[in-house]
Amino acid sequence: MSKKEYEIPSVPACPEELYTPEVQPGASESVRSYPAAAQHQEPLGFPGEIPDDWQDRALTRMEELLTRSRSLRVYLESCVRCGACTDKCHYYLGTGDPKNMPVARQDLMRDIYRRHFTPAGRNFPSLVRGRELTREVMDEWFTYFHQCSQCRRCSVYCPYGIDTAEISMAAREILDAAGFGQKYVNEILCKVHKIGNNLGLPGPALEDTLEGLEEDLKDDTGQDIKIPLDAQGADILLVTPSADFFAEPHVDGLMGYAKVFHQAGLSWTLSSYASEAGNFGMFIGNYEQMKKVAERIRKAAIDLGVKRIVVGECGHAWRVAYSFWNTLAGIGHGADEKDEYARALQAQLDPNYPVPQHICELTYDLMQQGVLKFDPTANDHIGLTFHDSCNVARASRMGDMPGGQMEIPRALLRASVRNFHDMADTTIGDATFCCGGGGGLLTDELLDIRIKGALPRVTALRDVMEDKGITHMAAICAICKAQFTKVLPYYDLPMDTVVSLHQMVGNALRLDKGEI
Amino acid sequence: MAYEVNGITVETDEEGYIEDLSKWSKEVAEIMAKEDDCELTEEHWEIINFLREYYEEFQIAPAVRVLTKQIGKRLGPEKGNSKYLYELFPYGPAKQACRYAGLPKPTGCV
């Protein structure tokens, strides 16, 4: 299997030396996702095979998207080719492939737009810069729109605010409609609908796993810290990525949440029906899939009778929850007046708390109220930095102040670890670099660009490791955690360099009732 | 991709995981390991067998922590950690060991 050797980029001495690489046309053209098979296409309503009329289907879908989303049309119309985005993409910095410059990625769709959707392109195709939608174009889309992690860093630097992520999501939606699905994401969406989570972890296995974790918590702390499942009438439903039940260091984060709930005396539960916060429907830009996945959470919340919904450490899930749950499922506000389930849920949830609430917001509020006490010396063996997840940093908010999504996680980490240092300013906050595995790219056949795409983050991390004695990097996203665990060893950094934020919180949290 | 083992054709997916789990045999595991320049020792088999038992009961591979704990119980506490598992299965205990054990690949953010 993975005998393949990967070319590891050399890491610059510091982030200031992350120069624009030499252009290498075609450098990553052979890095391709596996196509989805019929069994992963048809349950989602996509063609199982590439149909004869794939071009009509693609163009029809594109027209629908252009009609439904004015922003998409604006993004395709308004690029002035200023070049500000070119060196902002981690995949371009890592590969040098010019098609990984955000403008070039956008152009893959823009050229089709000009040819097929503008009067000049339709009538005088030779006079405009445009391209006929051919199989070759579809193949190119499939390759390069799956080398975009939809992290939106380029859009921060675009003077027009063109959002490549939105173009990439639309492209994948068109690809799916024409039968060119990607295996990784579509297989996972099928599992969510069938089993309730991305992993395909059935209820009994989840129950068994949680019992094991409760034993571990007892061994570690001497206390009976519970991780309740399907507890009818609990106050809080925690929805978290299923990787939190399965992988390392994700599990340590889950145990950290459990300690917080325990210490604050809150009544909470997980749901075996909605055992996934992640919503891969967003990665493929498919509204119906996003809605269907979001509605599982609404159903679980109604069935369990909870008063609050809290989301665990998952980057894109928080974007979906914070920005889209309201219109998708009426969680919070929004939803049609006639949508009785949305209305029922809105009446049921406690308006005194944010709906939904991020686990970091919950822990932070408890810390502010003095309900939780921290002993950061428990983490004195650790020097810590923090990796802002792209979807949290650039597509959501925490708390009630601008930048809260950057400040709240850091406030928790500073309370938990004495040696905390940020990485270079150009690589954090809303300028954060993607881990290299987001947006539906966390799959082994894309490991080549995952390794290369991690280069900017590795550069900034190494810098603080050498200068500030940093040993670990906390993350609040299941994809970031899995990606770094996998790729850091290629850069000679230990896989356990990456930790969960609530793992650090859990270590430092004082579980005794005594005064400090 | 496919393996021919004892007259049976065992098909695998693009990543080398067996398509029809009922076609698994010890010989298939040995052939897969050989391709990775890995010789299956008794220690490897302990893990492969546990994965298969767990899958039989729960229809999924065990979480890494469940696996390490169980190995610690069976083979001694000094072996109940992921370092030991990575020594045996350098490509990752979940992915490499699951593949030899004939289990589907764990998916998601793992």
B105: nearest CA partner in chain A: A199
B106 and A246 within 8 Å at the Cβ level: the answer is yes
Q: Which residues does A474 contact at the CB level (< 8 Å), separation at least 6?
A: A384, A385, A386, A387, A409, A413, A498, A499, A500, A501, A503, A504
Choose the closest CB to B14 out of A34, A209, A481. A34
What's the pLDDT at A336? 82
B-interface mutation test, from A183, A191, A199, most B Cβ less than 10 A away: A199
Q: Which residues does A199 contact at the CB level (< 8 Å), separation at least 6?
A: A191, A242, A243, A245, A246, B60, B106, B107, B108, B110
A251 and B110 within 8 Å at the Cβ level: the answer is no
Q: pLDDT > 70: what percent of chain B?
A: 100
Give B-chain residues touching A479 at CB under 8 angstroms: 109
B58 and A202 within 8 Å at the Cβ level: the answer is yes
pTM score of the predicted model:
0.97
B81 in contact with chain A, both atoms CB, cutoff 8 A: no
Question: What digits encode the pLDDT tens for the residues A4-14?
Answer: 689 999 999 99
How far B59 CA sits from the closest chain A CA (Å)?
7
Residue B5 per-residue DSSP state? E
Residue A374: strand, helix, or coil: strand
Q: Which residues does A66 contact at the CB level (< 8 Å), separation at least 6?
A: A72, A73, A76, A113, A117
In terms of C-beta density within 10 A (0-12 exposed, 13-18 middle, 19 or more buried), how is residue A495 classed? middle
Q: Which helix (H) or strand (E) holds A254?
A: helix A250-264
Q: How many CB atoms lie within 10 A of CB A189?
A: 25
B109 is a catalytic site residue: yes
Q: How many CB atoms lie within 10 A of CB A375?
A: 16
**Model confidence at B20: pLDDT above 60:** yes
Residue A324: strand, helix, or coil: helix
Residue A335 CA from chain centroid, whole number: 24
Q: What is the DSSP string of A140-183?
A: HHHHHTTS-----HHHHH-TT---HHHHHHHHHHHHHHTT--BH
B36 in contact with chain A, both atoms CB, cutoff 8 A: yes
Q: pLDDT > 90: what percent of chain B?
A: 77
How far, in Å, CA of B96 to CA of B100, rounded? 6
What's the pLDDT at A335? 77
What's the pLDDT at A2? 45
Choose the closest CB to A246 out of B37, B63, B69. B63
B-interface mutation test, from A191, A246, A488, most B Cβ less than 10 A away: A246
Residue A194 per-residue DSSP state? H
**Model confidence at B50: pLDDT above 50:** yes
Residue A293 CA from chain centroid, whole number: 15
How far, in Å, CA of A278 to CA of A258, rounded? 19
What's the pLDDT at A4? 67
A314 and B109 within 8 Å at the Cβ level: the answer is yes
What's the pLDDT at B95? 81
- Chains A, B: CB contacts within 8 A come to 97
How far B6 CA sits from the closest chain A CA (Å)?
22
> Which residues is A187 bridged to in the sheet?
none
> Which residues is A310 bridged to in the sheet?
A238, A357
Question: Closest Cα to residue A317, out of A233, A412, A250?
Answer: A250
Q: Which helix (H) or strand (E) holds A470?
A: none
B90: nearest CA partner in chain A: A2
pLDDT < 50: residue spans in chain A = 1-3, 516
Q: What is the dihedral of CA A94, A96, A99, A105, to 10 degrees?
A: 40
Choose the closest CB to B109 out of A3, A202, A479. A479
How far, in Å, CA of B90 to CA of B36, rounded? 10
Give A-chain residues touching B110 at CB under 8 angstroms: 199, 243, 246-247, 250, 478, 482
A209: nearest CA partner in chain B: B66
How far A394 CA sits from the closest chain B CA (Å)?
20
A248 and B65 within 8 Å at the Cβ level: the answer is yes
Question: What digits encode the pLDDT tens for the residues A406-448?
Answer: 999 999 999 999 999 999 999 999 999 999 999 999 999 999 9
Query: CA separation (Å) from A279 to A53, A148, A392, A446?
Result: 30, 17, 14, 20
Q: Is A436 left (phi over 0), alpha (psi -120 to 50) or beta?
A: left
Choose the closest CB to A478 out of B36, B59, B109. B109
The catalytic position among B98, B102, B109, B110 is B109
A441: nearest CA partner in chain B: B109
Q: Is B92 left (phi over 0), alpha (psi -120 to 50) or beta?
A: left
And the tokens for A357? 């609430």
Residue A338 per-residue DSSP state? T
In chain A, positions 379-438, which contact chain B (CB-CB < 8 Å)?
A: none
Residue A418 CA from chain centroid, whole number: 28
What's the pLDDT at A514? 53
**Fold topology of B2-100:** Arc Repressor Mutant, subunit A (1.10.10)
How far A485 CA sits from the closest chain B CA (Å)?
9
Residue A243: strand, helix, or coil: helix
Question: Closest Cα to residue A474, out of A380, A364, A382, A402?
Answer: A382
How far B106 CA sits from the closest chain A CA (Å)?
6
A184 and B95 within 8 Å at the Cβ level: the answer is no
A445 and B15 within 8 Å at the Cβ level: the answer is yes
B59 in contact with chain A, both atoms CB, cutoff 8 A: yes
B63 and A251 within 8 Å at the Cβ level: the answer is yes
Choose the closest CB to A199 out of B14, B82, B110. B110
B91 and A1 within 8 Å at the Cβ level: the answer is yes
A1 and B36 within 8 Å at the Cβ level: the answer is yes
Hey, what amino acid is at B1? M
A1 and B109 within 8 Å at the Cβ level: the answer is no
Question: What digits encode the pLDDT tens for the residues A56-113?
Answer: 999 999 999 999 999 999 999 999 999 999 999 999 999 999 999 999 999 999 999 9
**Model confidence at B47: pLDDT above 80:** yes
B107 and A216 within 8 Å at the Cβ level: the answer is no
ipTM, two decimals: 0.94
Q: What is the dihedral of CA A390, A394, A397, A403, to 10 degrees?
A: 110
B107 and A242 within 8 Å at the Cβ level: the answer is no
And the tokens for A486? 């996998």
Give B-chain residues touching A242 at CB under 8 angstroms: 108-109
A204 in contact with chain B, both atoms CB, cutoff 8 A: yes
Q: What is the DSSP string of A92-140?
A: HHHH--GGGSHHHHHHHHHHHHHHHHSHHHHH-GGGSS-----HHHHHH
B108 and A241 within 8 Å at the Cβ level: the answer is yes
B35: nearest CA partner in chain A: A1
Domain spans in chain A, listed from the N-terminal domain onward: 15-186, 200-360, 370-508
